[in-house]
Amino acid sequence: MKPSLPLFRRGSSVTSQIGLSDRIFSTADDRGLAAGIDAGLERVEASLFAEIVFADEIASVTTRYLLEAGGKRVRPMLALLTAHLGSGGITDVVTASTAIEITHLASLYHDDVMDDSGQRRGVPSAQTVWGNSVAILTGDLLFARASQLMAKLGERAIRLQADTFERLVMGQLHETVGPHAGDDPIEHYISVLADKTGSLIAAAAQAGIIFSDAPDEFEQPLVSFGEKIGVAFQLIDDVLDLSPQPEATGKVPGTDLRAGVATLPLLRLRERAADEPASAALLERLERDVMSSQGTRSEAADSAIAALRDHEVTAQTLSEAHGWAHDAVASLAPLPDGSVKKALTRFADTIVERSS
């Protein structure tokens, strides 16, 4: 039976989510941009609930479970924002945005099985409620529904969906297998982030350009922006994974580490361990009490995670996230100055401000 939970509706406007209420956004064009994106997001939200419906009762219940649990709709927001660089209507952008958000939703079901995560968006994860098989099949159903939506938009959309889906899977595969002998583990990790997170954010930015008839020369800069801001987004998540406030993150502190995922703070700690006895001692604690715990909570594991949170490598990870966000903004140089470019810059700032 489906557990009860409050039905979520996207409550805050884009104005608050990406800072368009800031005093620097005061022109009529800026206000019009914010209002247009908010209106588009309302259409995406309605489309999500209309599309994630199945004749089979259990399929409808499981596929809507994480949809109803919440979500910031970052990817649709980005697609609608970049679409304002075009001259076409937003009907196709809304369809593509819905498909991209459903793809993201599907990936969460699979990720939680791979990571053995107990919580997602503040509720028990799907595999905790229904088991691994149902959670995996639910993700598959959602991927199928996203593909059906993209098929309505033609061959270009199908290629975009297929290429992005391939990168999502390859990223998960490379994360699972790990780096080969001789590979730089941090370069490997960043490439995993680019595939698992950056590819879908880049696809959202690209979709806004393609389906609004925006100039072709804007497409590649925005793909680069999306990839880099996706890496920044995930590095901030690496920091937030250590947060002692699960009510804010929706996850138990150290969820990724407990699942055996070596996030950037841990990788940076391994770099230091050879020359710093204190770092070596902490690494030993983490690998013994956390990485090998199979998700089981203990006082020793909680203590080791807290120590990693306070270590310099976590501040270093935060700094690297800011660097990726800065590079993402630099990718926007070919775009015309104006409300869209200003909002994209604020969007990048907001991504890295999540850790504050």
Most distant CA pair in the chain, distance: 60
CA nearest neighbour of 87 among 212, 210, 219, 215? 212
Q: Which two tokens stand for residue 104?
A: 């993201």
Please give the average per-residue pLDDT across 259-263, as a whole number.
Answer: 87
Nearest Cα residue to 189 out of 177, 175, 200, 202: 175
The torsion angles phi and psi of 248, rounded to 5 degrees, stand at: -85, -35
H or E element at residue 120: strand 119-120
Q: pLDDT by residue (tens digit) across 325-336?
A: 999 999 999 999
Write the CA distances from 266 to 174, 238, 273, 315, 352, integer angstroms. 18, 10, 10, 12, 20
pTM score above 0.75: yes
**Alpha-carbon separation of residue 180 from 78, 102, 313 (angstroms):** 35, 32, 24
Q: What is the pLDDT of residue 10?
A: 47
pLDDT of residue 50: 95
Three-point CA angle 346, 18, 228, nearest 5°? 55
What pLDDT sits at residue 6? 31
Give pLDDT, residue 275.
Answer: 94
Half-sphere exposure of 28 (CA within 13 A, CB side): 0
Q: In 3-state terms, what secondary structure has residue 299? A: helix
Please tell me the predicted confidence (pLDDT) of residue 355.
59
Find residue 119's DSSP bridge partners: 124
**Which of 73-87, 233-247, 256-270, 271-285 comes out lowest in average pLDDT?**
233-247
More reliable by pLDDT, 292 or 58: 58
Angle at 274 between CA 271 and CA 278, to 5 degrees: 95
Q: What tokens appear for 284 in the block?
A: 């030993």
Please tell me the least confidently modeled range out of 53-67, 168-182, 203-217, 290-304: 290-304
Are 29 and 338 a contacting pair, CB within 8 Å?
A: yes
State the DSSP H helix or E strand holding residue 124, giving kind and residue range, or none if neither: strand 123-124
Angle at 201 between CA 212 and CA 11, to 5 degrees: 85
Q: Beta-carbon neighbour count of residue 24 at 10 Å?
A: 10
Cβ proximity of 344 and 85 under 8 Å: no
- CB neighbourhood size of 225 (10 A): 28
Residue 291 main-chain phi, psi, to 5 deg = -65, -25
Tally the C-alpha atoms within 13 A of residue 161's C-alpha that lie toward its C-beta: 27
Rounded Cα–Cα distance for residues 17 and 77 (Å)? 10
Per DSSP, the three-state class of 5 is coil
